[in-house]
Amino acid sequence: EAQVTQNPRYLITVTGKKLTVTCSQNMNHEYMSWYRQDPGLGLRQIYYSMNVEVTDKGDVPEGYKVSRKEKRNFPLILESPSPNQTSLYFCASSTGMAKNIQYFGAGTRLSVL
């Protein structure tokens, strides 16, 4: 089954404790992206990757890091989480063209205390 898998689904942590949210897709997609969803703001792009070893900032990259060492994986790293990073996070993948449908993971709900 074609899917984008995120882990964990729920995470509660404390300020400053490094964490990683994993994302993996099995559709051989070149393009992967991270979004955060906040009430009243919709989804905003954090980082994206057009292919292995190619990453770039989205609209809200501050406080986040990503890496793309393999085509299927695109982890999101919060080196020093802060309460304003409490949010619902989505990973997405597609074949990389504007017309193509982005497929989303199930989401990771993060709370930073």
Partner 1 sequence: AQKVTQAQTEISVVEKEDVTLDCVYETRDTTYYLFWYKQPPSGELVFLIRRNSFDEQNEISGRYSWNFQKSTSSFNFTITASQVVDSAVYFCALSEAKDTDKLIFGTGTRLQVFP
Dihedral sign (CA 60, 44, 109, 20) = negative
Looking at 14-22, 61-69, 70-78, 97-105, which segment touches partner 1 (CB under 8 A)?
Answer: 97-105
Name the token pair of 68.
Answer: 């793309």
Site for partner 1 in 43-82 (CB under 8 A): 43-45, 48, 50, 56, 58-59
Tokens of 48: 């994206």
| Residues 92 and 106: beta-carbon distance below 8 Å | no
Query: Can residue 96 be called a binding residue for partner 1 (CB under 8 A)?
Result: yes
Which residues would be at the binding site for partner 1 (CB under 8 A)? Answer: 31, 33, 35, 40-45, 48, 50, 56, 58-59, 88, 90, 92, 96-99, 101-107, 109
